[in-house]
Amino acid sequence: MSIATVLGEGGPQAATPRRTRARGHLPLLLPGLVYLTLFFVVPVGALLATSLYVPVPGGDVGQYQPALHWQNYTDALAKFWPQLVRSFGFALMATIAALLIGYPMAYVIGVRARGRRLLQGLMLVLVVAPFFTSFILRTIAWKQILADDSFVVSALHWLHLLPPGGRLTATPFAVVCGLTYNFLPFMVLPIYASLERLDARMLEAGADLYASPFTTFRTVTLPLSMPGVVGGTLLTFIPASGDYVNSSLLGNNTNTSMIGQVIDARFFKVLDYPTAAALSVVLMVAILLLVGAYVRRSGTEELL
């Protein structure tokens, strides 16, 4: 058992209709459903309502009244579309980078280390344990490791790998790296879970049929680990597109701002609740559309 088995869930549903009982599910369902309704569905409704509010005429900053002011959306989009597009761009880049880095990790843990339980366990622990060190502290660590006067940057200058005056922090590159870093475990664990479930005999059969390890990988291993890949990319892309910790700690506030930062600032600094709410709704809807299309395309609806 490990946390890893977790995220890449989607195993066979053993139950056949005959074996499942028809009644008695309500006591089990109700508490959770009521909770999610009260604290997820209703708040999203509140968010939708807030996104249409207008300022109280002559009221203080931060005072709004119910209305159906759809213009909030067009105003918000007209003003903040670059941040919205950038968020998805950064999230996409981070997801691809995390996939490229995370797949080999998951492969080594789940396939190469088979039979060596202790090694496998140790590597899994190393993937999971950073969860317990504050991710903000780790992000700040990156900031300091890559700071202008740091050893890394000096070395890169000395090696002429970085142009004079070039820097690593406060760049889009740094933000994408931070996002990649922070959500990497969410990529590794589901892929690991699906690779680990993979029957060793299939790999052997593949090796037998195709001989070349690459062909085996391409035709057997990769397709069979697709549920994990889909799960991992979703678990990376979704939080990355809404994140603002990385862009505010590793970015420069001009060409790295992401939509999360805007929403946060609108809520807490400007007290512009309708705009913040409208942007949140846009972000949520956009992600749901993207995720829906992606899941349908990859044919892994069962994953949900």
Rounded Cα–Cα distance for residues 71 and 84 (Å)? 18
Which of these ranges, 73-81, 157-165, 198-206, 219-227, lies near other proteins under the rule CB under 8 A? 198-206
| Distance (Å, whole) CA 196 – CA 190 | 10
Q: Does 132 bind other proteins (CB under 8 A)?
A: yes
Stretch that binds other proteins, among 13-21, 76-84, 155-163, 221-229 (CB under 8 A): 13-21
The interface region with other proteins, picked from 78-86, 135-143, 156-164, 221-229 by CB under 8 A, is: 135-143
Residue 73 in contact with other proteins, rule: CB under 8 A: no
User: Is residue 71 near other proteins by the rule CB under 8 A?
Assistant: no
Choose, by CB under 8 A, the member of 136, 155, 205, 209 that binds other proteins.
Answer: 136
| Min separation Cβ 131 and other proteins, Å | 4
Type of residue found at 229: V
Q: Per CB under 8 A, does 102 bind other proteins?
A: yes
Which residues make Cβ contacts (< 8 Å) with residue 145, sequence separation at least 6? 152
Is residue 125 within the footprint of other proteins (CB under 8 A)? yes
263 binds other proteins (CB under 8 A): yes
Residues 199-258 that bind other proteins (CB under 8 A): 200, 203-204, 207, 212-214, 234-235, 238-239, 241-245, 249
Contacting other proteins (CB under 8 A), which of 54, 128, 222, 265?
128
Residue with tokens 């990497």: 184
Is residue 170 part of the contact set for other proteins (CB under 8 A)?
no
Buried b (16+ CB within 10 A) or exposed e, 172-194: bebbbbbbbbbbbbbbbbbbbbb
Angle between helices 259-268 and 71-107 (to 10 degrees): 130
Residues 145, 209, 270, 293: which binds other proteins (CB under 8 A)?
145
Residue closer to other proteins by CB (options 12, 164) is 12
2 binds other proteins (CB under 8 A): yes
Burial status of residue 265 (CB atoms within 10 A of its CB: 0-12, 13-18, 19 or more) = middle
Task: Say whether residue 181 binds other proteins (CB under 8 A).
Answer: yes
Q: How far is the CB of 226 from other proteins (least distance, A)?
A: 17
Give the span between the Cα atoms of 194 and 5, in whole angstroms: 8
Amino acid at residue number 74: T
Looking at the Cβ atoms of 40 and 81, the one nearer to other proteins is 40
Q: Is 129 in the site for other proteins (CB under 8 A)?
A: yes
**Residue list 26-65, contact with other proteins (CB under 8 A):** 27-29, 31-33, 35-37, 39-44, 46-47, 49-50
Q: Which of 65, 71, 116, 255 binds other proteins (CB under 8 A)?
A: 116
Which residue number, 3 or 164, has a Cβ lying nearer to other proteins? 3
Which residues are CB-contacts of 87 (< 8 A; sequence separation ≥ 6)?
241, 242, 258, 259, 260, 283
> What does residue 113 show for φ and ψ, rounded to 5 degrees?
-90, 15
Point out which span in 68-76, 78-86, 129-137, 155-163 binds other proteins (CB under 8 A): 129-137
Contact status: 126 vs other proteins (CB under 8 A) = yes
Applying CB under 8 A, does 14 fall inside the site for other proteins? yes
In angstroms, the Cα distances linking 83 to 43, 64, 86, 106, 182 are 24, 25, 5, 32, 20
Are the CB atoms for 164 and 157 separated by under 8 Å? yes
Burial track 18-51 (b if 16+ CB lie within 10 A, e otherwise): eeeeeeeeeeeeeeeeeeeeeeeeeeeeebeebb
